[in-house]
Amino acid sequence: MSVLVCITGRNNEKLMAKLQDALPDVELKLWPHCDDLESVKFVLAWKAPQELWQKLPNLKVVQSFGAGVDGIPMSILPSGTVVARIIDPQLSDDMAEYVLSHALAHKLRHQNYCAEQAKKNWKPRRARKGVTAGVLGLGELGKAVAQRLSDNGFTVRGWSRSAKQLDDIACYYGEAQLASFASGLDYLVCLLPLTDSTHGVLNRQLFQNVSNDCLLINVARGQHLNEQDLIDALNEQELGGAVLDVFTTEPLPEKHVFWSHPKVTVTPHIAAVTNLDTVVAQIAGNIRACFTGAPIKNGVDVTQGY
Ligand code: NAP
Ligand code: GLV
């Protein structure tokens, strides 16, 4: 059996060295340097090219190098393939910190003061009053974000696919409760997985339910957002601002309107970055489990796509 690491768009030297240290007896191959794809049973993947998946007839496990699994085309994998993702308290903590920092910056009007500093024009204003925040997705990351916001004085709602009960969070679920969840929100955070059902969920109809001063924070995937709807909603004062960490096209194209829109803050997909020091052990554990037939940890439901 062989193990293939197929992670594009980053330097994998440190990862390969750490994985090899954890698995000294395992031969690890790094895409595209693998001439025997038929023997591959385990793939560690991130932004793997589509052509790879058709060439792995004996695949047993695909491990995502991140929390999201939307880059793995589950419907075309050999039947019974297990798909696993990263679950890491450090990742949840980083995400909670990112969202809280941007929510507080909006509340305290930091961006306005930066703009005023550039113009040498001083206009003191009180902090924004609205503190009702809604988190779309109450999974590993969404729950951590909801809790962090609640611990810091926000009144928090959450929305998920199935019904939940969480301390301090008003829980909503399903399509039928989406409008009540969104009604009057001052902060709207997206932490949904990207699936057929969540594609385009951040749209004008949803924006028309939240408050006119609401800050949208999209830290999930670019395809959750209808970009034109966001621009229209911002320009027509239906939303107060947007913090975007993810985009339909990454890196964000140089000519994109988001770079210079006065109500938009962009960051380069860094809200919660997979940390080698904390995740190598769980990836190595799943590789060993694949060898021995032990259960794979942090598997997703391939029928739901997350
Ligand atoms: P997760 O643990 O799989 O949780 C997903 C949540 O979304 C669950 O609460 C689920 O509901 C809910 N959900 C799924 N489909 C839904 C639907 N159709 N309607 C309503 N709710 C739905 O995911 P996670 O680990 O929290 O991560 C979320 C996403 O964050 C990832 O998929 C990834 O795209 C993104 N991410 C971004 C970064 C970054 O740096 N920007 C870093 C890591 C991850 P149930 O609880 O009812 O199943
Ligand atoms: C990053 O976007 C992840 O899914 O881990």
230 close to ligand 1 (CB < 6 Angstrom): no
Answer yes or no: same fold for 2-88+274-292 and 89-266.
yes
Rounded CA separation 178/181 (Å)? 5
66 close to ligand 2 (CB < 6 Angstrom): yes
What is the whole-number distance in angstroms between the Cα of residue 191 and the centre of ligand 1?
A: 5
pLDDT for position 28: 96
Identify any residues that bridge with 189 across adjacent strands, giving them in sequence order. Answer: 135, 217
Going residue by residue through the chain (306 aa), what tens digit of pLDDT does each one get? 689 999 999 999 999 999 999 999 999 999 999 989 999 999 999 999 999 999 999 999 999 999 999 999 999 999 999 999 999 999 999 999 999 999 999 999 999 999 999 999 999 999 999 999 999 999 999 999 999 999 999 999 999 999 999 999 999 999 999 999 999 999 999 999 999 999 999 999 999 999 999 999 999 999 999 999 999 999 999 999 999 999 999 999 999 999 999 999 999 999 999 999 999 999 999 999 999 999 999 999 999 999
Q: Report yes or no: 109 and 123 within 8 Å, Cβ to Cβ.
A: no
Atom of ligand 2 nearest to the CA of 246: 2
Atom of ligand 2 nearest to the CA of 69: 4
Judged by its nearest atom, the ligand closest to the C-alpha of residue 193 is 1
221 close to ligand 1 (CB < 6 Angstrom): yes
Reduce the secondary structure of 138-160 to three states and give it as a string: CCHHHHHHHHHHHHCCCEEEEEE
pLDDT for position 1: 66
pLDDT for position 92: 98
pLDDT for position 124: 97
Atom of ligand 2 nearest to the CA of 65: 5
Size of the chain, expressed as the number of residues it contains: 306
User: Active site residue: 221, 224, 261, 288, which one?
Assistant: 221
What is the whole-number distance in angstroms between the Cα of residue 169 and the centre of ligand 1?
A: 17
What is the whole-number distance in angstroms between the Cα of residue 46 and the centre of ligand 2?
A: 9
Which residue type does 161 have?
R
Judged by its nearest atom, the ligand closest to the C-alpha of residue 271 is 1
Pick the closest to residue 44 from 12, 92, 3 (CA basis). 3
Domain 2-88+274-292 annotated CATH 3.40.50.10880: no
Atom of ligand 2 nearest to the CA of 66: 5
240 close to ligand 2 (CB < 6 Angstrom): no
pLDDT in tens, 198-251: 999 999 999 999 999 999 999 999 999 999 999 999 999 999 999 999 999 999
- What pTM was estimated for this model as a whole? 0.98
What is the whole-number distance in angstroms between the Cα of residue 67 and the centre of ligand 1?
A: 9
Q: Does 221 participate in catalysis according to the annotation?
A: yes
Ordered by start, the domain boundaries in the chain are 2-88+274-292, 89-266
Q: Looking at domain 89-266, which CATH architecture does it have?
A: 3-Layer(aba) Sandwich (3.40)
190 close to ligand 1 (CB < 6 Angstrom): no
Judged by its nearest atom, the ligand closest to the C-alpha of residue 97 is 1
271 close to ligand 1 (CB < 6 Angstrom): yes
